[in-house]
Amino acid sequence: MRLDLSTDLVTLLQAITDVESVSGNERELADMVEEALSVHDHLEMSRDGDCVVARTNWGRPQRVVIAGHLDTVPVANNLPSRLEQTPDGLHVVGRGTCDMKGGVAVQLKLAAELADATRDITWIFYDHEEVGADLNGLKRLAENAPHLLEADFAVLMEPTDARIEGGCQGTCRIRIEIAGQASHSARSWLGKNAIHGLSDVLERLNAYEAQEVDVEGLTYREGMNAVLVSGGIAGNIIPPSAVIEVNYRFAPDKAPEDALAELRRVFDGYEFEVTDMSPAARPGLDKEIAMDFVASVGSTPKPKYGWTDVARFSALGIPAVNYGPADPSLAHTDHEYCPADQLDMCADGLRRWLAPDQES
């Protein structure tokens, strides 16, 4: 099957949704994307594994990256896609329609359509976003071909309800192990209960007051929470060890070392192991190019509370925002969907920014 990029966005979204592309199985869809875009003379094509890159080279003074991932979480009896007419309008229902093939459909449509624009554009369609960071296609592209990511601004088309969400919060997970001493539970005084020893850690978390931090006019609400607890051997043994895992979501005013300093402050006296650290991303909304984007889209920016790949752009010194169709709270749900009208809203917003004379 070939993708018809001249068709309407709803039809295009259904076409790419019906190509199953669970992480690790993106090859078929990546091939179709490459084939569909390679016929357009204004695009220079590159590929790294199952990451497809299409670039214009008009010699404009600014370049922007518009990126989206091709993979989805596993299918849950929600393919093929279907249309659902609701009181709120037409919905495209199916795995990946929200996260994030709705955004990919907009990318594909505009990449083919915009044969001229006020800025050079790098369109990136990458693999392995929904799995471990070590497999991430955008990360791999940055390592293998960093010149393809060079830009003045980036838009990641993650679902945002067709609103701008600036930057993203960082996330850190730590593991604290409490040592005890095993004994028969009938003689508990001979042992030391490690699970009971978790109480001090939990009390510190309960007492923790999450900060609200203003960054470039956006207010990010931080959070520090226990997310996993494990311990115990059997119902008649005093547990000799217990483990608690804590997740800290921190605002973009903090670097990873600042986040670790805060965790050391809260858990003073404890040793902990860092099991995950992903830096936050400043939105860059104070930059002229970002302000132009906001004005063109006509959306009041909001903070992104979750972590997204905008942080990869931020690490490269490229300000970045999230902007795409569909409600992010529907991502990964069995009944995820993308509203048809938001496909058009996002396409028109990008047209106004990139090629105002071509706005539909």
Q: Which of 26, 48, 71, 161 is catalytic?
A: 71
- 68 contacts 124 by C-beta, under 8 angstroms: yes
C-beta neighbour count of 37 within 10 angstroms:
21
Angle at which helices 288-297 and 340-354 cross, to 10°: 140
Strand spans (E) along 81-194? 82-86, 89-93, 120-126, 153-156, 165-166, 170-179
Per the residue annotation, which of 129, 130, 245, 262 is the catalytic one?
129
| Rounded Cα–Cα distance for residues 246 and 252 (Å) | 19
Contact 157, 96 (CB under 8 A): no
Query: Do 290 and 173 touch, CB atoms closer than 8 A?
Result: no
C-alpha to C-alpha distance for 142 and 168, rounded to whole angstroms: 19
Alpha-carbon distances, residue 51 vs 26, 30, 70, 115, 177 (angstroms): 9, 7, 9, 22, 40
Is there a catalytic annotation at residue 129? Answer: yes
d(CA 130, CA 284): 25
Beta carbons within 8 Å of 339's beta carbon, 6+ residues apart: 88, 89, 90, 91, 325, 326
Q: Is 120 a catalytic residue?
A: no
Residues 216 and 85: their CA atoms lie apart, in Å, by 39
CA nearest to 253, candidates 278, 279, 277, 282: 282
Give the other-Cβ count within 10 Å of 60's Cβ: 15
- Tell me how far apart the alpha carbons of residues 116 and 113 are, in angstroms, rounded to a whole number: 9
Active site (catalytic) residues: 71, 129
